[in-house]
Amino acid sequence: MTQTANTQEHFFERIPILVILGLLVFLIFARTGESVHGQMTKLGEFLWDDYFTLRADTPTPTCNPNPDIEARLDQLEQKAASEMDDLMGDEFDRDAARQSLQNQIRLCQQEHALAEKYQSRITPQVILYREIEHKFSQASIFATAQQQLFLVLLLFFAAGVATWRRHHIAFRPMLSVLDHRLSTALQLMANGSLALSAWVFRDTTFSSSIAVSNPMIINTLVAGSTVLAVLSAWQLFSLPKDATPGGNIGRALLSVPLYTIVMLIFVAIVFFQQKHLAGLSIYFSAFFENAGTYLDVALYLWCGMLLKQTQIGERVFSVFTPWKLPPELLAFVAIAVIALPTAYTGASAIIILAMGAVTYRELRKVGTRRQLALAATAMSGSSGIVLKPCLIVVIIAILNKEVTTDRLFSWGIWVFLLTLSVFFFYALITKQEKLKVARVSEALNPSLNNLRALMPYVVTFAVMAVLYATVLNAYLDQFSAPVILPVILFAIIFFERKLSKAKEIYHDPERHPGVAGAVTRSMTDAATHVGGLLMMMATFVIMTALGGKAMSMTFIANFDSIYAVMAVLMVIFVVIGMFMESLAAIGLVSLAIAPIAYKLGIDPIHFWMTCLVALELGYLTPPVALSHIFTRQVVGEEEAVLAAQEGHNFYYRHERLLLPLLVMGTTLLIVGFGPLLYGYR
């Protein structure tokens, strides 16, 4: 009986994950459908002449190709005679009317002949082909039109999974009974407030005389927030069996999810200060206005979890292992190597969730101290956000017509190289041992052998990218990456599980040995992370929607010196990064700060390069330090506690915090003030 109950519980846990998988797969199919539709149209034209006409239903002409001309002339003559009696019109010209009728009949016969010609060419093969082509077109149009609905469904299904698994993003995980009770109680307050606001918003909207343009989205918002509140209420009285007794209030407060803290702050503002119950859900709904962007975030997160199911991380690090690099140099290599997947997965948070555990493990395997390993893992995604085709840069270009992705990415390469150089500089200063590596004679051959084992992954990636380019005319860039990358990673997983004979370097218990199992596991992990991350993003968007309108940055114009303006901007950017995730921060900066900076003469490219570096510094800066939160989440609480006990002086006891602050702080000063010294504005 217990086994049956567990099986049923397991089945019901899988339902929302299957829904999320279905949504993401449909998005990939629908967005790929644009390319497939275009290529199918070209192929149809190659297979059948004038396919552009055949692909549409050719209507049968309604005119009569063989009328009785004399009878028709008699009718016209009678009509003309009656009109002549009434209006004293001209006498009916039968010959001219016959000529006109004959011309009309000739045109009608041509239309019938043309229709018959095309209809005779519409074979069953053409009908089947154009039906398939139309389905791809319809799927693409439907997916574009319903992006907001997809995001609402994805958000609440995934948030439900994260809530059910008690895996929302927080400073610390819930461990004790007090942790669970306090965190769940506050989640109930936040979710209940959102549900109350959504119900009030729905009643107000549907009782209005104005037609509701998006009733499905409003109803889903109501249903989703209500389900989250019910889940929190149920969990409040159903504690996990492994919860440790007792607890302390300070530790319990740190286990409260970030979205809950932010939501309750805005509940106080909107409910009690503004006295507008529906306002919370209205501000929350601003999240759905950029649905395409956040759907891309979900796809990128799935890419990250698919990447986690591969051996790519170990294979890359294995190329450097034979050289016996000292910890500082290996940390430098890790940051340089992880930058590329960071650019392709959209944000530093995603790559930490995907490859943070691998990065930390590989650094620890060669004896890297825990504090340095944590610092490098937290920083692993910071340098890659300025590289092509990072989603954040694309969003900046969308929101700010003063910049383009090409120019941002062009300057981003230099910022990336600068960040690496600064890290290498501090690695040399803070090293505890001499920087020596293995002899070339000892390391070269093993390194090349490991590189050869990595090449099939590179080839698989390249082959899939070329197939997309040649077959579908879809090139891997900042716009297509969210759709193409999951398919490429699936191909890599298939290669690993079915075709590769290379031995596994490291057995990861979280990596499933089968193809279907790997995809299922990736989706299970992605569902949890999508729920936690999107819920946090949605709540932070309230800050953009509410704070962006109220925030006044006009005081910046009071500074006479351009250096003073830049200094103030850098401080503001860092503070924003300390308390907001990247997409919400970019929206807030674009709305409230960028226009003022442009008017003060700061070059838009310089402005945004400075902003990106400052935001990354903010993500590494306490009290919130999102990058460190994600790092702690993937390496485990035990490792974080052990790291806190290491170090023989103040710096090495806090190296995980101080080294990223030194590196990104120095980089920010150079990026912010360096161009001004050379007159670049």
Contacts of 575 (CB under 8 A, 6+ apart): 618
Per-residue confidence (pLDDT) for residue 548, from 0 to 100: 58
CA distance 584 to 573: 12
Greatest CA separation for the chain: 118
547: nearest Cα among 265, 134, 332: 265
Contacts of 407 (CB under 8 A, 6+ apart): 605
Q: Which residue has the tokens 């936040």?
A: 190
Neighbouring CB atoms inside 10 A of 271's CB total 16
Helix, strand, coil percentages, rounded to 5, for the chain: 75, 0, 20
Please provide the DSSP assignment of 81-93 as one string: HHHHHHH--PPP-
Neighbouring CB atoms inside 10 A of 138's CB total 13
Low-confidence ranges of the chain (pLDDT < 70): 1-13, 57-58, 83-91, 346, 547-554, 679-681
Per-residue confidence (pLDDT) for residue 681, from 0 to 100: 57
62 burial (CB, 10 Å; 0-12 / 13-18 / 19+) is: exposed
479 burial (CB, 10 Å; 0-12 / 13-18 / 19+) is: middle
Looking at every residue in the chain, the average pLDDT score rounds to: 87
The 10s digit of each residue's pLDDT in 497-544 is: 999 888 888 888 888 889 999 998 999 999 999 999 999 999 988 877
CB 634 within 8 A of CB 510: no
CA distance 280 to 260: 13
CB 287 within 8 A of CB 259: no
Three-state SS at 654:
coil
CB 615 within 8 A of CB 415: no
Per-residue confidence (pLDDT) for residue 4, from 0 to 100: 45
Token pair listed for 288 = 């759905």
301: nearest Cα among 411, 169, 405: 169
Instruction: For residue 453, give the amino acid letter.
Output: A
| Torsional sign, CA 513, 516, 522, 525 | negative
502: nearest Cα among 458, 446, 453, 461: 453
Per-residue confidence (pLDDT) for residue 627, from 0 to 100: 92
Per-residue confidence (pLDDT) for residue 47, from 0 to 100: 84
Contacts of 598 (CB under 8 A, 6+ apart): 402, 604, 607
Q: Helices 215-236 and 177-206 meet at what angle, rounded to 10?
A: 160
> What are the E-state strand segments in 370-463?
none
Per-residue confidence (pLDDT) for residue 88, from 0 to 100: 52
